[in-house]
Amino acid sequence: MSGAPFHTDLPRNPKESITFMLVIAVISVNTIPVVIGGLTSGFTLAMWTGLLQVMPALLVAVVAVVLLTMKPAQPLTSRLVRPGDSFRAHMVLHALCSVLLISLLMTVVGTWTGARQISTEPLEQFAHLWPRNCTIAFLIEALLA
């Protein structure tokens, strides 16, 4: 062991990073859209089977958006935490910043993917959709983490 605090070594290698991201993405894609879809159109078998059909595309979209938002989340997090803050503070704020950025993009991309079409609807409804989507995503991610 290098003597450095354990948290400075997370993730310890690219394989762990990829594995963690995929596990969280698969769980997220199987929970977040179900809750959002259920609140939007009702928790029905038809809603769930419709989501099952687009889940592979949603998984690809989530992984792409996570990769796209990784770098911007780091400076955002470092603006909110200080070097002496606890590991828990760093992790919670990094998760919050990541979920915030991911939810901004997935509110639009997820709607397009679920509807199987690109439209202006998620942009027009953004102020209404995003706060709910971000809250749901953060609560689910908080339970996962």
Cis peptide before 5 (omega within 30 of 0): no
Residue 1: inside a domain, yes or no? no
Residue 84: inside a domain, yes or no? yes
Q: Which domain holds residue 131?
A: 10-144
Residue 32: inside a domain, yes or no? yes
Total number of domains constituting the chain:
1
Chunked into runs of 10 residues, the chain (145 residues) has average pLDDT values of 49 82 90 92 91 95 94 92 87 90 96 94 96 94 81
Residue 2: inside a domain, yes or no? no
Residue 3: inside a domain, yes or no? no
Residue 4: inside a domain, yes or no? no
pTM of the model: 0.84
Residue 116 zone, left/alpha/beta (φ > 0; ψ -120 to 50; rest): left
